[in-house]
Amino acid sequence: MNQMVKLPEVPLGDPVNVSRRGFITGAATGALVLGFGLPVGEARAQGAAKIAPGTRVPAFLEIRPDNSIRLLSPFMEGGQGIWTAMAQIVGEELDADPSSFTVENAPAGPDYLVVFGQMRITGGSFSVRSSYDTMRKLGASGRAMLLQAGAKKLGVPLAELTTEPGRVLHKASGRSATYGELAPHALDLPAPAPAQITLRDPKTFRWIGKRQARLDIRAKSTGKAQFSIDTKVDGMLHAAVQHAPRLGLLVGKVTNEAEIKAMKGVHSVHVLDGALAVVAPRYWHARRAVEAAKVEWVASTAPTYRPMPADFSTEAFAKQLATTQGKEEVAEAAGDMAAAFASAKVTLSATYNSQYLNHAQLEPPSATARFNGDGTLDLWLPNQAPEMFQAEAAKVAGIAPEKVKIHSPLLGGFFGRHFIYPHGTPYPQAIELARRIGAPVKLIWSREEEFLRDPLRPMAAVRFRAALDAKGLPTAIEAVSITEGPTEGIADKRGPKLDDSALEGITGKKYAIPNKRIAQIFVKSPTTLAYWRSVGNSMNDFFYETFLDEVADKGGQDPYALRLHLLEGNARLTNLLKAVVDLAGGWKPGPFTAPDGSKRARGLGMASPFGTETAAMAEVSIVDGQVKVHDVWQAVDPGSIVNPAIIEAQVNSAVALGLSQVLVEQAVYKDGLREARNFDGYSVLRPDMMPRVHVRIVESGAPMGGIGEPGLPAVPPAVANAVSRLLGKRMRKMPLGQIA
Amino acid sequence: MIELTINGQQQRLDAEGDTPLLWVLRDDLGMTGTKYGCGVAQCGACSVLVDGTVMRSCVTPLEAVAGRQITTIEAVEKDPVGSRVVEAWVKHQVAQCGYCQSGQVMAATSLLKQSAHPKDDEIEAAMTNLCRCGTYNAIKAAVRDVASQGGKA
């Protein structure tokens, strides 16, 4: 997902409601929506033609009489801190303190397609970097409108006015007006032409680039934050489901149906596509009843989406991937591989494996659906792409997309979980149930049902070969990944080109190795697939960077010195690698004995994910056969930044997920069945496994990269390389698990 | 009918005695600050205080807590220790997605009510709730901060 995956099927020029209040839903009485800027006729004309995303100030901002500001964020807040970043960026140009903002997730609509001005997802670590200029200009437009209103109210020429945070100031007379006072006057003034919008000199930034406190922190510390699972609407009933144990099976018969229907609190029992549902006034009754149902599952006679084979096992699949021969589709090639291997002093080869992973976001998926008397549908659900869900929900409901209103509460974690995944989200079931019973329905997937239907981070095997010269330096590297990428997996068909999300991380490496060949052998995954935090990079940098350490070992090279050598002439990455070594107090690979007597070693990893460059170091020991990670140091260079405090938090978070993956996590199947369906069997990183994390932010001035995901990919190889060094034995698969 | 005392208020509930406290809080009483994460006492998102001690409400049947004092995240700031915990959570900017944080705050409040100045190993033993955002270091820093504050908690 470093490259754009695909554009959503969203009509960019859809007509929108251009009434002043239409944009801001649920505005407090007496609150005034800032400026519309266009005479009604012209606004209509523009609305009917095409909305330029991110240009219409009132679609985003409401300034209240008390000078507080409500911002509708085009990006979903799910922990990554995007609300705060948006307030910093808009506030900087609007000249308003970000702490005076309250932020909400924006509804579906063409105004919010601000990802490169053409689409809207919260993912791919795109939010800030893809909308930075747009959101700055939006803030500046708002400021220009307030200045115009100020000139009129204060009766002075526009040129004599300036702003201070939250107010327009006439320095000559000392008179001023607050933004809250001016908002109603700004309402009818024309929006400035794009050419008239001036942006602040970055040298004068007060909030961008500074440690701004998160705007959602107190609500999240006191239980007041509202997630989809907390949705309550009048007259709502609750629903729970039992999914078919294997995708593709259908309900044949419920052998104890009468018993289920007679259970306390049960409203009704429903056969859905591949699932049984129970509806009840209370969730617990629905859940208890549906879990008591004895269902005979039968195979579908019609073709279904990615049916799970009855004999599927992840253990066998890992072996199959490692040995599969087939058509090698080349993604990257350079030099003359045959000649390089022919003239090699030494060659080596190795095969690596990765595992399936759940997202395991802590908020189980839910959907609340309500059909309204006017033929519209309200839908509350966790999502990373409101317009895509709007379009898909419309198909399910059989109504026009504009009749579907998407509500997007806070995400209780996402990590790629909340895109459109066929059979992987509850909203089609909630819509169907709401239609059948004629009342609003809230459906929650229990953790067990979630782990059964959560689409997974792909498994892969990668076969490497390398050629070394007489000095022990690599002259050629080959990587053949046997896998199915998430993009081709979700679509359930291959695209005209290779799936970047399958190979990113074994492609795009920056080391100067003159001969290379990076290829994929496509093997379809029996499971459903998904994007998972840092997508292809989540495993591919593990493969490449650990094999690079093998190359170093084979050639008698130090892994740090080899990386520096291969990065000669690349000032950005050389600086970054040196920065992480400096942060760790020098390069001390070990094994060495720590002050507490434990034997330890350190390892390195680097990655170039999502427009950002990263370098990580880990220090490990072995305790009771388990890898103990003591410290992780990471230097990140996203080019330029908005909030260093949130970057540090995101790196901590990505380190935790990267460690979880490399140490303990794996989704296991046997006989077509999912083995562990809750946290008692599916291990994730526990608090006692969290190391100290040290972060250095390097601002090279390169084009802005992402932040939410890039902190992950360099961590697993840093850990695996340290463990390999400590044990004198190469680690070639994730998770490392129990060390023999 | 079962009578419970939740956040100092008497509640009469028409629910079976084996109903988990979590779902009564969330669905019957509208107290959605307490979260469902796993239902099997593994993640701790549903943590509440019962007579001042943390319990995982997803596996706590109503009949087991009848007549006892239940405190949820909605009332945590009324407790002097809970209030300091919340302030530490804000100061250390602990939350990311925030979904687990109600439970984390309750677990920390329970620990600090019982032991005003816990050592690191006590903190590690008590703070076992899962956080998929990996806020563990910030949680530890916030708990240590309250633990290091003077006087009895």
Q: Of A659, A636, A656, A632, which Cα lies nearest the Cα of A647?
A: A636
* Mean predicted confidence (pLDDT) in A437-447: 98
A655 contacts chain B (CB < 8 A): yes
A360 contacts chain B (CB < 8 A): yes
Question: Which of B129, B132, B137, B144 to mutate to test binding with chain A, by most A CBs within 10 Å of its CB?
Answer: B132
> How does residue A28 score in pLDDT terms, banded at 50, 70 and 90?
very low
* Mean predicted confidence (pLDDT) in A333-345: 98
CA distance A362 to chain B (A): 6
Closest residue in B to A413 (Cα–Cα): B97
Contacts with B85 (C-beta within 8 Å, 6 or more apart), sequence order: B76, B105, B108, B109, B112, B142, B143, B146
Q: Residue A225: beta bridge partners? A: none
pLDDT in tens, B59-96: 999 999 999 999 999 999 999 999 999 999 999 999 99
* Mean predicted confidence (pLDDT) in B117-129: 97
A690 to B39: CB separation less than 8 angstroms, yes or no: no
Residues of B in contact with A692 (CB under 8 A): 137
Which long-range contacts link A131-137 to residues 24+ away (Cβ below 8 Å)?
A131/A54, A131/A74, A131/A75, A132/A89, A132/A642, A132/A704, A134/A53, A134/A54, A134/A55, A135/A54, A135/A86, A135/A89, A135/A90, A136/A89, A136/A90, A136/A92, A136/A93, A136/A199, A137/A54, A137/A55, A137/A93, A137/A194, A137/A197, A137/A199
A218 contacts chain B (CB < 8 A): yes
Q: How far is CA A422 from its chain centroid?
A: 18
CA distance B67 to chain A (A): 22
**CA separation for the pair A249, A454 (Å, rounded):** 16
CA distance B123 to chain A (A): 10
A734 contacts chain B (CB < 8 A): no
pLDDT in tens, A235-255: 999 999 999 999 999 999 999
Residues of B in contact with A218 (CB under 8 A): 86, 90
* Mean predicted confidence (pLDDT) in A594-606: 97
Q: What is the pLDDT of residue A188?
A: 67
Closest residue in B to A691 (Cα–Cα): B137
Q: What is the pLDDT of residue A117?
A: 84
CA distance B149 to chain A (A): 20
Q: What is the pLDDT of residue A189?
A: 74
Of A214, A225, A230, the CB nearest to B93: A214
* Mean predicted confidence (pLDDT) in A519-542: 98
**CA separation for the pair A280, A259 (Å, rounded):** 15
Of B23, B32, B105, the CB nearest to A230: B32
In angstroms, the Cα distances linking A540 to A206, A355, A464, A547 are 39, 12, 12, 11
Question: Containing H/E element for B144?
Answer: helix B136-147
Mapping DSSP onto H, E and C, the string for B32-45 reads: CCCCCCCCCCCCCC
Residues of A in contact with B137 (CB under 8 A): 652, 690, 692-693
* Mean predicted confidence (pLDDT) in A574-584: 98
Two tokens, residue A579: 């920065």
Q: What is the pLDDT of residue A44?
A: 34
Entry field: residues in chain A? 740
A221 to B105: CB separation less than 8 angstroms, yes or no: yes
Sign of CA dihedral B95, B99, B104, B110: positive
Q: What is the CA radius of gyration of chain B?
A: 15
CA distance B150 to chain A (A): 23
B127 to A687: CB separation less than 8 angstroms, yes or no: yes
CA distance A224 to chain B (A): 6
Residues of A in contact with B101 (CB under 8 A): 220-221
A238 contacts chain B (CB < 8 A): yes
A284 contacts chain B (CB < 8 A): yes
Of B26, B35, B93, the CB nearest to A213: B93
Domains with residue ranges and CATH for chain B = 2-72 (3.10.20.30), 76-147 (1.10.150.120)
A684, A660 in Cβ contact below 8 A? Answer: yes
B98 to A654: CB separation less than 8 angstroms, yes or no: no
First to last CA, chain B: 37
Closest residue in B to A451 (Cα–Cα): B38
Contacts with A75 (C-beta within 8 Å, 6 or more apart), sequence order: A82, A86, A105, A122, A127, A131
Q: With 80 as the cut, is the pLDDT of residue A625 above it?
A: yes
b (16+ CB within 10 A) / e for A228-252: bbbbeeeebbbbbbbbbbbbbbbbe
Domains with residue ranges and CATH for chain A = 32-221 (3.30.365.10), 317-356+457-727 (3.30.365.10)
**CA separation for the pair A52, A305 (Å, rounded):** 37
b (16+ CB within 10 A) / e for A307-330: bbeeebbbeebbeebbeeeeebbe
Residues of A in contact with B77 (CB under 8 A): 222
Question: Which of A122, A210, A222 to mutate to test binding with chain B, by most B CBs within 10 Å of its CB?
Answer: A222
User: How many interchain CB pairs under 8 A, A with B?
Assistant: 171
Q: What is the pLDDT of residue B28?
A: 96
A402 contacts chain B (CB < 8 A): no
pLDDT in tens, A276-304: 999 999 999 999 999 999 999 999 999 99
B124 to A232: CB separation less than 8 angstroms, yes or no: no
Q: Indicate the burial class of A338 (C-beta count within 10 angstroms; 0-12, 13-18, 19 or more).
A: exposed
Residues of A in contact with B97 (CB under 8 A): 78-79, 220, 361-363, 410-414
Q: What is the pLDDT of residue A35?
A: 24
Q: Which of residues 667-686 of A touch B (CB under 8 A)?
A: 678-680, 684-686
Ordered DSSP codes for A49-104: H---TT--GGGTEEE-TTS-EEEEESS--SSS-HHHHHHHHHHHHHT--GGGEEEE
Lowest mean pLDDT among A112-126, A382-396, A539-553: A112-126
Q: With 90 as the cut, is the pLDDT of residue A428 above it?
A: yes
Q: With 80 as the cut, is the pLDDT of residue A38 above it?
A: no
A653 contacts chain B (CB < 8 A): yes
Sign of CA dihedral B3, B8, B9, B15: negative
Q: What is the pLDDT of residue B1?
A: 86
B129 to A687: CB separation less than 8 angstroms, yes or no: yes
Residues of B in contact with A658 (CB under 8 A): none
Determine the residue type at A578.
K
Strands A692-697 and A626-637, sheet pairing: parallel
DSSP category for residue A470? T
Question: Which of B23, B105, B136, B144 to mutate to test binding with chain A, by most A CBs within 10 Å of its CB?
Answer: B136
pLDDT in tens, A359-373: 999 999 999 999 999
pLDDT in tens, B42-53: 999 999 999 999
Lowest mean pLDDT among A26-35, A136-145, B70-79: A26-35
**CA separation for the pair A584, A695 (Å, rounded):** 10
Ordered DSSP codes for A440-454: -EEEE--HHHHHHHS
Q: Of A28, A55, A27, A60, which Cα lies nearest the Cα of A43?
A: A55
Q: Indicate the burial class of A395 (C-beta count within 10 angstroms; 0-12, 13-18, 19 or more).
A: exposed
Q: With 50 as the cut, is the pLDDT of residue A26 above it?
A: no
Q: What is the CA radius of gyration of chain A?
A: 28
Residues of B in contact with A657 (CB under 8 A): 132, 134
A361 to B124: CB separation less than 8 angstroms, yes or no: no
In angstroms, the Cα distances linking A61 to A140, A142, A167, A313 are 12, 8, 16, 52
Q: What is the pLDDT of residue B7?
A: 98
A364, A446 in Cβ contact below 8 A? Answer: yes
Two tokens, residue B151: 């006087």
> How does residue A9 score in pLDDT terms, banded at 50, 70 and 90?
very low
> How does residue A33 score in pLDDT terms, banded at 50, 70 and 90?
very low
DSSP category for residue A590? S
A686 to B128: CB separation less than 8 angstroms, yes or no: yes
B43 to A656: CB separation less than 8 angstroms, yes or no: no
A53 contacts chain B (CB < 8 A): no
Entry field: residues in chain B? 153
**CA separation for the pair B107, B96 (Å, rounded):** 17
Of B28, B35, B97, the CB nearest to A79: B97
Q: Rounded mean pLDDT of chain A? A: 92
pLDDT in tens, A64-73: 999 999 999 9
* Mean predicted confidence (pLDDT) in A370-386: 97
**CA separation for the pair A670, A652 (Å, rounded):** 34
In angstroms, the Cα distances linking A665 to A123, A244, A245, A248, A457 are 22, 24, 21, 26, 11
> How does residue A27 score in pLDDT terms, banded at 50, 70 and 90?
very low
Q: A578 φ, ψ to 5°?
A: -65, -30
Q: A471 φ, ψ to 5°?
A: -85, -5
CA distance B6 to chain A (A): 15
Two tokens, residue B42: 């593994």
**What percent of chain A has pLDDT above 90?**
90
